[in-house]
C-alpha cells in the first residue's frame, strides 16, 4: 500500500480519536502506579481476623455488606453494598477525611474502564490505538533522526512490543477473554463475609488483602502475594486459587507489582509522548505557510 495513504490514515485516525485516547492514556498512567503502591500492604499487625470481624460487626451489624475493599495507601476499608462510612484502619473509627490518593485511583479506574459511561467509546478507541500501531508498522522501519519526527518514530519502534501489548490485553478484558480453564466450583450457599474473613486469615496475611466480595454466585478474595495480585475462590474444599487471568495481569501490571507496574508507567509515558508529538506533527504540517503560486492575473516580475 502507498506510504502516503498509510500516513494519512495514521494521522487522521489519531486526530479523530485524540480526545478519548488522551483520557485513556492519562488515566492508564495514574493506574500504572496502583500495583506499586497497594502491593506494599498495611503495616504489620494493623489487621487480623478478630479485628476485622469486630469492625464488620460494628459498622454492619445486620451483615448486609456484600464485600469489603482495602486501600493500603490510605489505610482505609470500605464496606460494599451498604451505607457505612469509610473506616480508618489505624483507629477503627470512621475516617475523618477521604484518602485523596485512593479517590484519585478510583476516579481513574472508572474513567479508564467506562469513559463517562460510554463503554463502546473505550472499546472503539482501544481498537483505534491498535490500528494506529499496525499502520505504523506497515509504513516500514524509520530513519532515525534528531528531530521531532525522528524521536516519534524511534520511541514507537523501540517500545513496540510493550505498546501493542497494552491495548490488545485491554481488548481481551473488554470482551471477557481470559485464556484460562474453568474456575473451581463455588461454595453454595456462600459464606457470610465475617466467616470468609476468618477462613482467609488461616493461610493468608490480611495486611495484603485488596478485596473480599461476592461476585455473582462466588465469594472471591483478591490478595497480593510476592508482588502478584492473586484471586481466590471459596469452595467446598476450602480456599482455592483461581486460574491466572494473564490478559488482566499484564494489562493492570499485577503479575509482579514493582516490575510490571514500572513497565506500565513507561508504556503510558511513551504513549502520551507519541500522541502529543503525533498531534504536533499534524498541526505543524497543517499550519505551515504554503508558498503563494503566481496566477495569470498577477503580472510577472519585471513585466511592463
Question: Residues 199-243: pLDDT tens digits?
Answer: 999 999 999 999 999 988 889 999 999 999 999 999 888 899 999
Q: Are residues 114 and 172 in the same domain?
A: yes
Gap between the Cα atoms of 92 and 154, Å rounded = 52
Residue-level pLDDT at 198: 95
Q: Are residues 240 and 252 in the same domain?
A: no
| Residue 267, domain member (yes or no) | yes
Residue-level pLDDT at 84: 93
| Residue 105, domain member (yes or no) | yes
Neighbour-count burial of 206, counting CB atoms closer than 10 A to its CB (0-12 exposed, 13-18 middle, 19+ buried): buried
Please report which helix (H) or strand (E) contains residue 238, including its range: strand 238-241
Share of the chain above pLDDT 70, in %: 94
| Residue 18, domain member (yes or no) | yes
User: Where does the chain have alpha helices with state H?
Assistant: 3-16, 18-32, 34-38, 49-59, 100-114, 119-138, 148-158, 160-174, 193-201, 246-252, 257-287
Domain count of the fold of the chain: 2
Grid coordinates representing 3 are 506510504
Q: Note the pLDDT tens digit of each residue in 131-183.
A: 999 999 998 888 888 888 889 999 999 999 999 999 999 999 999 999 888 88
Q: Are residues 136 and 162 in the same domain?
A: yes
| Residue 293, domain member (yes or no) | no
Neighbour-count burial of 39, counting CB atoms closer than 10 A to its CB (0-12 exposed, 13-18 middle, 19+ buried): buried
Q: Are residues 117 and 165 in the same domain?
A: yes
**In residues, how long is the chain?**
304
| Residue 214, domain member (yes or no) | yes
Question: Could you tell me the residue range of the domain that residue 32 belongs to?
Answer: 1-41+101-179+246-287
Q: Are residues 206 and 113 in the same domain?
A: no
Cα angle 10-114-14, degrees, rounded to a multiple of 5: 10
Cα angle 277-281-287, degrees, rounded to a multiple of 5: 135
Q: Are residues 119 and 228 in the same domain?
A: no
Residue-level pLDDT at 304: 39
**Average pLDDT value for the chain:** 90
Q: Are residues 112 and 20 in the same domain?
A: yes
Q: Are residues 194 and 173 in the same domain?
A: no
Grid coordinates representing 2 are 502507498
Q: Are residues 159 and 106 in the same domain?
A: yes
Measured in whole angstroms, the distance separating CA 131 from the mean position of its chain's CA atoms is: 20
Residue 26 has pLDDT above 80, yes or no: yes
Residue-level pLDDT at 290: 61
Q: Are residues 108 and 37 in the same domain?
A: yes
Q: Compute how many other C-beta atoms are within 10 angstroms of the C-beta atom of residue 208.
A: 21
Confidence of residue 268 (pLDDT cuts 50, 70, 90): very high
Nearest to 271 by CA among 112, 164, 136: 164
Q: Are residues 193 and 169 in the same domain?
A: no
pTM for this entry: 0.86
Q: Are residues 56 and 163 in the same domain?
A: no
Gap between the Cα atoms of 177 and 252, Å rounded = 15
Amino acid at each position: 500500500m502507498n506510504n502516503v495513504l498509510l500516513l494519512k490514515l495514521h494521522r487522521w485516525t489519531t486526530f479523530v480519536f485524540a480526545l478519548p485516547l488522551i483520557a485513556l492514556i492519562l488515566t492508564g498512567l495514574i493506574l500504572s502506579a496502583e500495583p506499586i503502591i497497594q502491593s506494599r500492604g498495611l503495616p504489620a499487625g494493623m489487621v487480623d481476623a478478630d479485628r476485622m470481624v469486630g469492625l464488620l460487626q460494628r459498622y454492619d451489624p445486620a451483615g448486609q455488606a456484600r464485600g469489603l475493599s482495602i486501600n493500603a495507601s490510605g489505610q482505609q476499608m470500605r464496606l460494599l453494598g451498604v451505607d457505612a462510612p469509610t473506616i480508618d484502619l489505624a483507629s477503627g473509627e470512621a475516617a475523618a477525611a477521604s484518602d485523596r490518593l485512593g479517590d484519585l485511583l478510583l476516579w481513574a479506574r472508572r474513567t479508564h474502564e467506562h469513559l463517562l459511561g460510554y463503554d463502546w467509546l473505550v472499546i472503539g478507541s482501544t481498537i483505534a490505538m491498535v490500528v494506529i500501531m499496525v499502520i505504523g508498522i506497515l509504513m516500514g522501519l524509520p530513519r532515525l533522526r534528531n528531530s521531532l519526527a525522528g524521536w516519534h518514530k524511534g520511541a514507537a519502534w523501540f517500545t513496540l512490543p510493550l505498546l501493542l501489548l497494552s491495548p490488545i490485553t485491554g481488548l481481551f478484558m473488554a470482551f471477557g477473554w481470559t485464556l484460562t480453564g474453568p474456575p473451581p466450583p463455588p461454595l453454595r450457599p456462600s459464606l457470610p463475609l465475617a466467616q470468609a474473613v476468618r477462613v482467609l486469615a488461616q493461610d493468608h496475611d490480611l495486611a495484603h488483602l485488596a478485596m473480599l466480595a461476592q461476585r455473582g454466585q462466588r465469594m472471591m478474595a483478591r490478595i497480593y502475594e510476592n508482588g502478584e495480585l492473586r484471586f481466590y475462590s471459596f469452595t467446598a474444599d476450602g480456599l482455592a486459587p483461581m486460574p491466572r487471568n494473564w490478559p488482566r495481569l499484564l494489562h493492570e501490571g499485577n503479575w509482579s507489582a514493582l516490575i510490571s507496574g514500572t513497565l506500565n508507567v513507561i508504556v503510558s509515558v511513551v504513549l502520551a509522548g507519541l500522541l502529543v508529538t503525533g498531534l504536533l506533527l499534524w498541526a505543524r504540517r497543517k499550519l505551515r505557510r504554503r508558498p503563494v503560486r503566481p496566477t495569470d492575473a498577477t503580472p510577472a516580475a519585471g513585466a511592463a
